[in-house]
Amino acid sequence: MFKNLYDAIKKKDMLDVSYEIMDNLHEQTYEMFKMASKCAISGEVPEEDLIKMDKEINYMVQMIRKNVLEHFSLSSTPNLHAGLVLISLIIDYERIGDYTKALCRIRNNFHFSGDLDPEIRENLEKMAEAILKMFPEAYSNIEESYSSKTPKITSFEENLKEEHRELRENILQDYIGKNQALSAAVAASQLRRIAGHLDNIGTAGTRPFPKLGFKPGASSFED
């Protein structure tokens, strides 16, 4: 996987190794998110498990950086675009790891250990479900490389944003306790951030390198 970003070097070098690590990085963040979303919504999963997984993510990110640097330094025909895109992608994955780890701390941070209001729980569950769909979509979009169509992953992110807007209205109800409201609001914000990074990953093949990580219209000078 991820081979369409890099096809110039026939022999296996450090970029090839980086793509193999990237596969593991994707799977690790995916599994970590599944655990962390349960932690935020239901209070399940010990934080220690996620801390260990996050350290493994950090290690993989550092290895890919090292490999890309080695490729740039030692290859007679370095694939600059592939290396730079790899660096951009792993930044997104590293941030996803941080946000998923933070999801598991939210209940403790706001001293909330009870059950969520049914409507708020449903909002958060639908946001998490959208992200679970975004993970494989982001992965497959890298394979498809450049395309003129709007990736499906962006529509998943838009649905998540709509669910977030509804959640904000629900937590303003008088019967929702402060601790629960804060826990739900922060969890939703973390989910929004995770979705944004997945959208960056899933649209990397549709945007030139200078615009990676930016939504259309984010710059004052658009082509």
61 inside domain: yes
pLDDT tops 90 at residue 14: no
223 inside domain: no
Dist CA 158 CA 133 (whole Å):
13
Across the range 115-134, mean pLDDT stands at 93
Cα 25 to chain centroid, rounded: 11
10 Å Cβ neighbour count for 205? 17
CATH number at residue 97: 1.20.58.220
Which residue from 165, 169, 48, 181 is spatially nearest to 114, judged by alpha carbons? 181
Confidence grade of residue 79 (pLDDT, cut at 50, 70, 90) = confident
Residue appearing with tokens 């509804």: 166
143 inside domain: yes
Percent of the chain with pLDDT over 90: 37
Q: What is the pLDDT of residues 18-75, one digit of tens each?
A: 888 988 999 999 999 999 998 889 887 677 888 899 999 999 999 999 999 988 888 8
Confidence grade of residue 10 (pLDDT, cut at 50, 70, 90) = very low
Confidence grade of residue 128 (pLDDT, cut at 50, 70, 90) = very high
Which residue from 130, 125, 190, 136 is spatially nearest to 158, judged by alpha carbons? 130
Q: Can you read off the two tokens belonging to residue 110?
A: 């706001």
6 inside domain: no
pLDDT tops 70 at residue 110: yes
142 inside domain: yes
Among 85-89, 104-108, 151-155, 165-169, which is the least confidently predicted range? 151-155
User: What range does the domain containing 162 cover?
Assistant: 11-207
4 inside domain: no
Give 34's contacts (C-beta < 8 A, 6+ positions apart).
Answer: 132
Mean pLDDT of the chain: 83
Which residue from 160, 213, 208, 205 is spatially nearest to 187, judged by alpha carbons? 160
Dist CA 40 CA 204 (whole Å):
29
Q: In angstroms, how far apart are the furthest CA atoms of the chain?
A: 66
Q: What is the pLDDT of residues 162-196, one digit of tens each?
A: 888 888 888 877 678 888 889 999 999 999 999 99
Q: Can you read off the two tokens belonging to residue 57?
A: 């993510």
pLDDT for res 219: 64
Dist CA 62 CA 64 (whole Å):
5
Domain count, the chain: 1
214 inside domain: no
Which residue from 196, 111, 91 is spatially nearest to 188, judged by alpha carbons? 196
pLDDT for res 19: 83
176 inside domain: yes
CA-to-CA dists, residue 161 to 16, 41, 42, 182, 223, angstroms: 36, 18, 21, 18, 27
pLDDT for res 28: 94
